[in-house]
A and B are shown apart, each in its own frame.
Chain A
Amino acid sequence: MNVRSIRFRLGAWYAGLLALLLILFGVFVYVTLERVLERNLQETLTKEAQTIGDALLSKIRQTGDAYVIDEIEEHFAPRTNSHFLRVTREDGSVLYQSGHPHDESFDPAAVAASRAGDPVAWHEENAPGTGKLFVYSMTYTDSIGTRYAIQAGASNKPIRTVLNQLLVSLAVALPLIIGVAIGGGILLMRNALKPLRDISDAAAKITSRNLNERLPKVHTGDDIEQLTASLNRMMSRLEESFQHVQRFSADVAHEVRTPLAILQAELEALLDRPELNTESRNAVSSALEEAGRLSLIAEQLLEMTRLEAGEMLSTASRIDLADVTRGTVDQMRLLSDDKQIRMTYEGEEEVPVLGDPIRLRQIVVNLIDNAIKYTRPGGTISVSSGTAHGNGFLEISDSGVGIPQEAIPHVFERFYRVDGARSRQLGGTGLGLAIVKSICAAFGGTVTVQSVPGTGTTFRVELPLESNAPANSGFTQKYPS
């Protein structure tokens, strides 16, 4: 679980807050209940003591001691109720004292006696075992002035039992509630975050190729609507600057090409002049060749710009890489034969990839041309194509001079030459491998190289099989207007 995710942090805060609130609530309930129960007990005891005075002791002269004792026993049943009752005469002799309670929560004899004339008082005593004994003491004075001390007491054991039960209930219920709340919270959050995920999914689908698309508008009037609008505004700005770059490269192309066209045409016209001597003719021809090379470089650079802008993908269709490779090898065999290099081809019957026939051909041509250039007469070039791991592949191995280890990371860079002077002599623009890489990337593939200096080099191109290629049917080419 990702502890930094918004879902986890929100959930943790939410659960923590809930637990704190529930605990506070539990403490409040516990304390309140304890106070209510104790007050009730005290009221009961007060009433009992007052009743003994008002109802029984007031008539003790007519009824006699025994009647009063009987009445107390019968009326209050202190033993059954686990209550303590004691009536003491003015002289300190005990008129009545309740017996051992049935739950043995206290020892009646051990309870401190009060004397007649003492003011009304509450005191607590430690009962044997656990718990406390609440004792209410008062003085009753009858009509002729005889005073009795009355004590009523009760153990807090029943209160404790109730409170303990409450604690147990809380201890069971609290985690349960928190657990349910966290579960519900996760579900809730998943739903709440769903619009965000939708936005993210939609945004992920937008690349340089379909920058004109926008996220679907929502009208929720909240943060989500704002986020969608902000993202859409950002994409508009991106699209604008992207178009700016494309316009810029088109303008540059125009500015370079027009002078090149003039240069080329002027030189051609010059070459047609009959009065030109051989020396001048050669010079003009040489200049024309260089102008041609410059044109080729400009053209290839522009083509790479367009490949990187993703324009080519609009023409992508199902192409048999094996067929393209086989055909190209056949057509280039004359070149390898010419240099006494043995070129072989083997491959699967059909390797359907997503591409454009001209661009795929360009890959094969550039790599084979490269291999022929750097392989000495008598060497071999083996070309193969097939399918592996859901990709179509094309491999071109030569027994050529190889590439030094330190140069390998740079071979696909524009204008990079392993051995400047030598390779320029062999012709080419220094863009061949860079173009291969751009084409591969444009169709969602890769190109890699392995080389042992002096032994040979292997280039491997991998392109997604047509069935595995990312769907691009939704993509429509946008024409500048």
Chain B
Amino acid sequence: MRLLLVEDEEKLARLIKRALASERFSVDVAHTGREGLELANNYDYDLLILDLQLPELSGGEILRRVRRVNSNVPVLIVTARDAIAEKVMQFEAGADDYLTKPFVMAELLVRVKSLLRRGTGRRENVLRVSNLELDRLTQQVRRGGRIIDLTAKEYSLLEYLMANSDRALSRSMILDHVWDQGFRGATNIVDVYVRHLRSKIGDEDQKLIRTMRGVGYSIREET
């Protein structure tokens, strides 16, 4: 998979490139709009990541020019501008997703993968992490064969964690997926739910849900 990243902040570009590379993507980086458009026109990329405020040519302009000749390539906008009007305008111009700075790198990775149709995490009907099992059809959760009774929110939280297992998920990502943006003011709702979930799935003895301090949570097999 070959990706094009157009970002004028060299530091940020380097960090994004490193994170994407660690997921085995090959990434070309352009620091100006003109350079970005040239690369986008000359190579067949699988995905474009565009900043909006760029020297020479804005990200929005690149998007419009690329869309004239190529309507298929997925485009992720990464920008500090987040007025609703701005978002609507970019979506109308053909953007597929929109991520506001600052963001957690894990979130960028999740979105990139989802745009590349690797899906939002795992697609199977039965998700497994170690001896924890979640059946999306019957909405049943078992650990070591024992059925665990969860509330609707606890189930959604666990499903989101398991669908993105081995990946660090930030609190705001969890909030936005399991609750909605309206809950951002609730300081510790994610932490409290995770704590309850942990005790229900018997995580005291065999830890599956890890706290990623400063980031959020992740579910993974013990190593």
- Chain A residues in the interface with B (C-beta under 8 A): 246, 250, 253-258, 260-269, 271, 281-282, 284-289, 291-292, 295-296, 302, 306, 311, 314-315, 328, 331-332, 334-335, 338, 357-362, 364-366, 368-369, 373, 426-428, 432, 435, 477-480
Report Cα–Cα, A306/B83, bound state, in Å: 8
With a cutoff of 8 Å between Cβ atoms, the chain A residues found around residue B25 in the complex are none
Report Cα–Cα, A432/B184, bound state, in Å: 10
Residue B135 CB within 8 A of the other chain = no
Question: Which of these binds chain A: B32-40, B100-108, B140-148?
Answer: B100-108
Q: Given A257-B102, A332-B189, A335-B188, do A250 and B180 touch, yes or no (CB 8 Å)?
A: no
List residues 42-98 of chain B with CB under 8 A from any CB of chain A: 53, 79-86, 88-89
With a cutoff of 8 Å between Cβ atoms, the chain B residues found around residue A288 in the complex are 213-215
A262 contacts which of B12, B104, B183 (Cβ < 8 Å)? B12
With a cutoff of 8 Å between Cβ atoms, the chain B residues found around residue A281 in the complex are 213
Q: Are A258 and B101 in contact (CB under 8 A)?
A: yes
Seed contacts A257-B102, A258-B101, A428-B187; 7 additional CB < 8 Å A-B pairs: A261-B102, A267-B214, A288-B215, A314-B84, A334-B189, A361-B180, A361-B183
Q: Are A365 and B105 in contact (CB under 8 A)?
A: no
Q: Are B185 and A369 in contact (CB under 8 A)?
A: yes
Enumerate the 3 nearest inter-chain pairs by beta-carbon distance, A residue then B residue, closest first: A361-B182, A288-B214, A285-B213
With a cutoff of 8 Å between Cβ atoms, the chain A residues found around residue B79 in the complex are 254
B17 to chain A, nearest CB (A): 11
Q: Are B182 and A315 in contact (CB under 8 A)?
A: no
Q: Given A253-B81, A254-B80, A335-B188, do A365 and B86 touch, yes or no (CB 8 Å)?
A: no
A331 contacts which of B11, B15, B179 (Cβ < 8 Å)? B179
Closest to B92 in A: A479
- Chain B residues in the interface with A (C-beta under 8 A): 9, 11-12, 15-16, 18-19, 53, 79-86, 88-89, 100-106, 153, 170-171, 179-189, 192-193, 195-196, 212-215
Q: Are A427 and B188 in contact (CB under 8 A)?
A: yes
Closest to B89 in A: A479
With a cutoff of 8 Å between Cβ atoms, the chain A residues found around residue B153 in the complex are 331, 334
Q: Are A338 and B80 in contact (CB under 8 A)?
A: no
With a cutoff of 8 Å between Cβ atoms, the chain B residues found around residue A338 in the complex are 192, 195-196
With a cutoff of 8 Å between Cβ atoms, the chain A residues found around residue B212 in the complex are 271
With a cutoff of 8 Å between Cβ atoms, the chain B residues found around residue A296 in the complex are 184
A332 contacts which of B184, B186, B215 (Cβ < 8 Å)? B186
Report Cα–Cα, A334/B81, bound state, in Å: 35
Q: Are B213 and A282 in contact (CB under 8 A)?
A: yes
Q: Are A358 and B180 in contact (CB under 8 A)?
A: yes
B165 to chain A, nearest CB (A): 17
Closest to B99 in A: A261
Closest to B180 in A: A358
Report Cα–Cα, A478/B104, bound state, in Å: 31
Q: Are A265 and B105 in contact (CB under 8 A)?
A: yes
With a cutoff of 8 Å between Cβ atoms, the chain B residues found around residue A369 in the complex are 185-187
With a cutoff of 8 Å between Cβ atoms, the chain A residues found around residue B103 in the complex are 261, 264
Q: Are B15 and A365 in contact (CB under 8 A)?
A: no
Q: List 29 A-B contacts (CB under 8 A).
A: A246-B83, A253-B80, A257-B102, A260-B101, A261-B102, A263-B102, A264-B103, A264-B105, A265-B12, A286-B214, A291-B214, A296-B184, A331-B153, A331-B179, A331-B189, A332-B189, A334-B192, A338-B192, A357-B182, A358-B181, A361-B182, A365-B182, A365-B186, A366-B185, A428-B187, A477-B84, A479-B85, A479-B89, A480-B83
With a cutoff of 8 Å between Cβ atoms, the chain B residues found around residue A266 in the complex are 11, 15
Looking at B15, B81, B183, B193, which has the most chain A CB atoms within 10 Å of its CB?
B183
How many pairs, one residue from A and one from B, have CB atoms within 8 Å of each other in the complex?
A: 152
Closest to A335 in B: B192
With a cutoff of 8 Å between Cβ atoms, the chain A residues found around residue B186 in the complex are 332, 335, 365-366, 368-369
Q: Given A285-B213, A358-B182, do A254 and B81 touch, yes or no (CB 8 Å)?
A: yes
With a cutoff of 8 Å between Cβ atoms, the chain A residues found around residue B80 in the complex are 253-258, 261
With a cutoff of 8 Å between Cβ atoms, the chain B residues found around residue A262 in the complex are 9, 11-12, 15
Q: Are A289 and B214 in contact (CB under 8 A)?
A: yes
Q: Are B184 and A362 in contact (CB under 8 A)?
A: yes
Looking at B82, B101, B171, which has the most chain A CB atoms within 10 Å of its CB?
B101
Looking at A262, A289, A364, A427, which has the most chain B CB atoms within 10 Å of its CB?
A262
Report Cα–Cα, A478/B86, bound state, in Å: 10
With a cutoff of 8 Å between Cβ atoms, the chain B residues found around residue A361 in the complex are 180, 182-183
Q: Are A311 and B192 in contact (CB under 8 A)?
A: no
B18 contacts which of A254, A264, A269 (Cβ < 8 Å)? A269
Q: Given A361-B180, A428-B187, do A478 and B215 touch, yes or no (CB 8 Å)?
A: no
Report Cα–Cα, A226/B213, bound state, in Å: 65
With a cutoff of 8 Å between Cβ atoms, the chain B residues found around residue A292 in the complex are 170-171, 214
Report Cα–Cα, A338/B82, bound state, in Å: 35
Report Cα–Cα, A359/B180, bound state, in Å: 10
Report Cα–Cα, A365/B185, bound state, in Å: 6
Q: Are B85 and A426 in contact (CB under 8 A)?
A: no
Q: Are A432 and B81 in contact (CB under 8 A)?
A: no
A160 to chain B, nearest CB (A): 88
Q: Are B18 and A334 in contact (CB under 8 A)?
A: no
Q: Are B214 and A432 in contact (CB under 8 A)?
A: no
Q: Are B81 and A250 in contact (CB under 8 A)?
A: yes
Report Cα–Cα, A282/B214, bound state, in Å: 9
With a cutoff of 8 Å between Cβ atoms, the chain B residues found around residue A271 in the complex are 212, 214-215
With a cutoff of 8 Å between Cβ atoms, the chain B residues found around residue A357 in the complex are 180, 182
With a cutoff of 8 Å between Cβ atoms, the chain B residues found around residue A435 in the complex are 185
A316 to chain B, nearest CB (A): 12
Closest to B15 in A: A265
Q: Are A426 and B15 in contact (CB under 8 A)?
A: no
Q: Given A282-B213, A357-B182, do A480 and B85 touch, yes or no (CB 8 Å)?
A: yes
Q: Are A265 and B16 in contact (CB under 8 A)?
A: yes
Closest to A478 in B: B85
Q: Given A331-B179, A335-B189, do A480 and B89 touch, yes or no (CB 8 Å)?
A: yes
A432 contacts which of B16, B83, B85, B185 (Cβ < 8 Å)? B185
Report Cα–Cα, A262/B102, bound state, in Å: 8
With a cutoff of 8 Å between Cβ atoms, the chain B residues found around residue A306 in the complex are 83-84
With a cutoff of 8 Å between Cβ atoms, the chain B residues found around residue A366 in the complex are 185-186
